[in-house]
Structure 1
Amino acid sequence: MTLLDIFPSLRSAMSPRLDPAVWPINTHHDEHGRITVGGVALSDVADQYGTPSYVIDELDVRHRCRTYREIFPEAEIAYAGKALMTRALASWVSQEGLALDVCSAGELTIALSAGVDPRRIIMHGNAKTPAELTAAIDAGVGRIVIDSYTEIVVLGSALDHKQDVLVRVTPDIDVHGHRAVRTGVADQKFGFPIDHGQADAAIKRVLDQPHLNLIGLHCHLGSQITDPEHFGAAVHRMIAQMAQVYHDHGLILTELNLGGGHAVSYGFDDVPLDLTQLASTVEDALDEACARHRFPRPKITLEPGRAIVARSGVTVYRVVSVKHIEGGRTFVCVDGGMSDNPRVCLYAARYSVALANRHPVGAQVPVTVAGRHCESGDELAVDVPLPADVRPGDVLAIPGTGAYHHGLASSYNSVGRPPIIAVCNGSARELIRRETIDDLLRRESSL
């Protein structure tokens, strides 16, 4: 008999700490040392639905929606559907009072099928096709964000009624953040640069189209932005541009969309964006810029995606084998990999990993969690601590996988994409089923 058998309460005390900055808010260890999310043991999800599986905590999603609405009570919060788009997710964020932004006809269709009010949908995309623009018009979306001269012509000729639009401009602000992706600088594919008069020219062309009702400007600075001052700088540049529109055309633009890109934590060395500081920075910048240019205060829209769902998601895997290389690394090989989480290969993303199905015995050792695919770079986590007794059949959990995982997943090596399992108040339900080999074969033409 062990000490844990005599004192079972020690199990939870001895379980490794689960960082609340990375895991869903409803994450705990049960009396058996198993990790639970939303009141459901992740090992039970693995047993019932197989592995790998994406798990998403519904109440965590709703909590983050409410947090945004509390911190930004005067702003419109539009969930960026590209982070994760399912009918259930669209329904949850809509019920919590968020608008929704989409960037394809597919995302638009999912949102509409979930019952989202089309007037609260914003249509994005730097290369929207004529068919997608027609779909947005027919659906009656509230706003279309114009991103090219071609769109101005196509929209202008396709409409027989007034359509509210925004023009996406690039304020040439370089975010320079840790692991940040830069989309607010001039030399990239999105929007019209403010510099050299390109934004001015696009705005004039929009105003020349009788059916395009220009109501505001849009910008997006990038992703994983940690410094709120970047958004303050964007406010100053955007208000100056809006004031220029009034000077040139006598038109007062009433909406300023600052996009998203709010940083979240994936590991111990990541710094999330402080939303309270962001709110204060944007507020001060608006006061200063509007006073300087004598311009009426516009309505602000923010478009968080990752910041809503990333930490709501956990992916569970089954250990297939453990391989110790003499003088080298220890590889813990699992039944998923780059097909369900390509962010490691694409962005050198770093994740924490935890043993989910039992209380560990023994010391922690550094390992590489390797994927199943026939690529040397298929590694989900490098040099992460796991119990020395990790073995085949164990369930591992990787937190922070709610955003840009299902949406970026592929069927590489003809491995079907994982299911999405929602957990809430002790119950689990399947939102999207596992993709099977039969699904893949149905896409093929007959021999």
Structure 2
Amino acid sequence: MPKNLITIDEGPERAILVGVELANRPSPWPLEDSLDELEQLARTAGLEVVGRVTQRLDRPNPATFIGSGKVEELVTLRAALDADVIIFDDELSPRQQRELERAFDDEIKILDRTALILDIFARHAHTREGALQVELAQYEYRLPRLTRAWTHLARQVGGSAGRGGIGGVGLRGPGETQLEVDRREIGRRIAQLRRELEEVRRHRHLHRQRRRQVGLPVVAIVGYTNAGKSTLLNALSGANVLAADQLFATLDPTTRRVELPGGRQVLFTDTVGFIQKLPTQLVAAFRATLEEVTEADVLVHIIDITHRLALEQAATVEEILQDLGAADKPVVIALNKIDLVPDPALVAEALQVFPKAVTLSALKKKGLDDLLARVDEVLEERMVPVRVLLPYEEAELLHQLHERGSVEREEHTGEGTVVEGRVPPWLLARLEGYRVD
């Protein structure tokens, strides 16, 4: 565990959730369903949820997000339920957070969905790259919120937490020395983290270039958090990737070699899960990791078909892919957990939306051959016809053409080997100087 990340094992802290339905910011997610997801996030962070408060507004209150009457109701409810934390389902502005803390006399933590997700990421960051990315996201989130209230709370992190103190959830990550320094020093730390992550990004870029030289297509598994991405990678490759029934169990991408039915070798990569209202700080900080998605040849979008909001989750993933610049990637839709579907009509409905989807159970290892065949088909569709004359000294390039392409005709001449066939787009550039009509 990196030294800047602090884990709190005592608890659990008691939390009240706050959800607001905004007329000027309509959401495809029903309010209660969004709060159900927030509760799952809270449990993942080790909290005990003891109550909920909801409100419908035309627009957020610029001072406290919710109305003043609802704030008073929340103060009363907090005392009655002996809560330690109040978590808003939407991101609060620094001003809103400060005003809410004042309403509770700075005796309780006011968090939002972003802070909660950052806390979970801090728990699950097990590599240096993951820790750097989480730390950067936390600092960028906390910098505009660095007030007396925050530094007072931060002092508690090193001591008691849970019911006995005010540390714990929302303060995992940078410790007290970081939160008590001034903005300039935090700015320096952010700059340092960005430099280190740029180095990580360059390292990943070089690693991808080496993979390209080997010539293996890359298939990135994407999906909503807890849809079964790691379970699928384990099933396909025999990898030992953590596959837990919790949100954001996997942060660090894992890559494994898999053979497709036609004998083609590919690399499957597991990626961090997506979620609605994904914090912008995380998207920016995890750029090096998310480039595994934007640089992939094919995406496998895995959907938990048993979830009541499966289509809404799929739409969220598609929106994030659009934001990442990966919307033009060929996608194979995989409807997962087919063995747990209570009503076959759910599958039929999903297949109407995604007619080319494959159905599978990653846990039971059913339908995997269909998925691999579909990936093979998509890769084949991307192959480009070529006719080249390769000098005999380019034996390695000829080998790659056989290994990674599809050779339809080969003729040895005095000048070299004439080859007709189909090759993947990445190999086309290497053949450019040898193409003939």
TM over 0.5: no
Give 1 or 2 for the bigger CA radius of gyration. 2
Q: Which protein has the bigger helix share?
A: 2
Greater relative CO, 1 or 2 (CA 8 Å, sep 6+): 1
TM-score, normalization: structure 1?
A: 0.28
Q: Which protein has the bigger strand share?
A: 1
